[in-house]
Amino acid sequence: TQSRSHCPHSCHSPPRRQYLSEKRRHPGMPIRPAFGKEVVQRATQVDARWVMGFAAGVGDVNPAYFDTSTAPVAAHPLFYWAISWPIIQQRMDELLEEPLSISERVRGVHYAEDITHHRIIRAGAAVDTACSVVSAAARPQGCTITIKFVMRDADTSMLYCTQFTTLYYRGCSLGDVQHAGDSSDLALPLPLPPPVDSTAASPMFTRTIAIGPLEAHVYTECSRIWNPIHTDRAVALAAGLPDLILHGTSTMAKVASTLVHLFSDNDPSRVQRIATRALKANVFMPCTLTLRVFAAEHKDAQITVLWDVVNADQRQVITGGVFVCATAGTSRPAAEPPRAGSDEARLRELKRAC
C-alpha cells in the first residue's frame, strides 16, 4: 500500500535519457498480466489547486471547477484519470507477471475508457484506489490490457467511481494468447448502448474543438499526467511516432466539458458515465477536431448521448462515445453497499487490516 501523500504524480518516473537509451528487456518476450492481483493506492489528497489546474489544462471555464467562495470546488468528470495515473506510471509492473522495460512502457498509449461516476469528487477529499487487470487481448501490431479502478473516499468508504482503462502497447504481444481475463459480472463494465453507424447516420449537430500547438505541455503540467511521448519529440520518435501526440484523456476531457455544458447545465455532479469504444487516430498539434452528436435519448430520468470525434481528414479520433447524465432535478441514487467478494468489499477489508 502507498502511504498518505500529497497529490502523487510522476515525479519519480525514470529520467528522460533512459527512455531514449534502454532496449527491450527480452526481445519478443510477451506481456503477461497478473490476473487476480490487486494494487492499492492509499489516500490520494485532492486539493483545490489540482482540481482547478486540471480544468484550466483542458480550457474549461466552468465556475463549478473554480469558484471556491461557496463550497469545495468540484472535480472535472475526467479528473479520475489523474488520480489513477500514478499507478499506471509507477506501479504497472505490480499488475504483471514480469516487469516492463522503460522502452515498453513508453509504447503504452490510451486505447479506451469507461468511467461510471457514483458521486462527484470535491477538493479536500482523500481517495483510496484499488485496481486489477480484468482483460487482455491481442491487437494488430500490439496488444491491449484493461485495468479496473475502484475509487472510494479514504475516510468514509463512499464510492466515487468505477473506471475501466484500456492501454494499447505498440509492438508488444501476449505471446500465443489472443484473449484472456476475468469474465465475471463483477469484473466487467455494464454493456454500452449499441453504437451508431457513423458512416451512414447524420449527426444531430457538431461542435468544433480547437487544439493548440502547446496543448500537450499545458495538459501535462496542469493534470500532473506525464508521459514523454506527448511532450518530448525525441522520445515520441523513438517510440515510432511521427511527432508528439495529444493525450487521449485531454481530448476526452474537452468532449466532456462540451457535453456537460450542453446537456447538464454546467453541473458536473449530474454526470453518471462517460465511455469510448476506442481512441483511434492520433491527435497531432495544432489541429481542429469535430465533436459529432448523433443521438440524445431522455429516458428514466437520464440523458444518454451518443457521439464521436473526427479530425480534419474525417478520420475518427474517438469512436462509440457514450455520455450519460441525470436530468435536471434528479437526485443521484445512493451507491449500493459493497457485495461480498467484490472489489469494493475487498478494499474495505484491506483498509481495516491496515
pLDDT band at 11 (very low <50, low <70, confident <90, very high): very low
Q: Specify whether the CB–CB gap between 119 and 158 falls below 8 A.
A: yes
**Please, what is the end-to-end C-alpha distance for the chain in angstroms?**
9
Residue type, 82: A
Contacts of range 264-267, beta carbons closer than 8 Å, 24 or more positions apart: 264/303, 264/325, 264/326, 265/328, 266/62, 266/63, 266/64, 267/64
Rg over alpha carbons for the chain, rounded to the nearest Å, is 19
- Strand-pairing partners, residue 132, are 148
Band (2; pLDDT cuts 50, 70, 90): very low
Percent of the chain, pLDDT > 70? 82
pLDDT at 319: 96
Q: Is the dihedral of CA 345, 351, 352, 354 positive or negative?
A: positive
- What pLDDT, on a 0 to 100 scale, did the predictor assign at position 14? 54
**Highest averaged pLDDT of the listed ranges 1-5, 7-11, 297-301:** 297-301
**Residue 8 CB burial class (10 angstroms; 0-12, 13-18, ≥19):** buried
| CA distance linking residue 1 with residue 39, whole number of Å | 7
Could you list the beta-strand ranges (E) of 106-245: 108-117, 126-139, 142-153, 159-170, 179-181, 205-211
Closest of 80, 91, 4, 85 to residue 42, by C-alpha: 4
3-state SS, residue 250: helix
Grid coordinates representing 98 are 514480469
pLDDT at 327 over 50: yes
C-alpha to C-alpha distance for 231 and 338, rounded to whole angstroms? 40
Q: Which range has the top average pLDDT, 59-73, 86-100, 233-247?
A: 59-73
Average pLDDT, the chain: 86
Q: How far apart are CA 205 and CA 203, in angstroms?
A: 5
Separate counts of helices (H) and strands (E) for the chain: 8, 12
Residues 120-144 have a mean pLDDT of 94
| Cα–Cα distance list, 134 to 202, 260, 328 (Å) | 35, 29, 35
What is the per-residue pLDDT across 236-245, written as a single tens digit (0 to 9) for each? 998 788 999 9
Alpha-carbon span 128 to 124, nearest angstrom = 13
DSSP state of 42: E
CA separation for the pair 52, 80 (Å, rounded)? 14
Out of 82-86, 96-100, 268-272, 347-351, which region has the weakest mean confidence (pLDDT)? 347-351
pLDDT for residue 95: 95
For 171-207, write each residue's pLDDT tens digit.
888 988 888 886 665 566 778 888 888 888 999 999 9
In this predicted structure, which of 54-68, 90-104, 247-261, 308-322 has the lowest mean pLDDT? 90-104
The pLDDT of 320-337, averaged and rounded, is 72
pTM for the full predicted model = 0.85
Closest to 234 (Cα-Cα) out of 244, 226, 225: 244
More confident residue, 214 or 336: 214
11-15, 264-268, 301-305: the lowest-pLDDT one = 11-15
- Write down the pLDDT at residue 253: 98
By the 8 A CB rule, do 132 and 37 touch? Answer: yes
Cell numbers linked to 308:
464521436
Cell numbers 453507424 correspond to what residue? 197
The confidence score (pLDDT) of residue 351 equals: 40
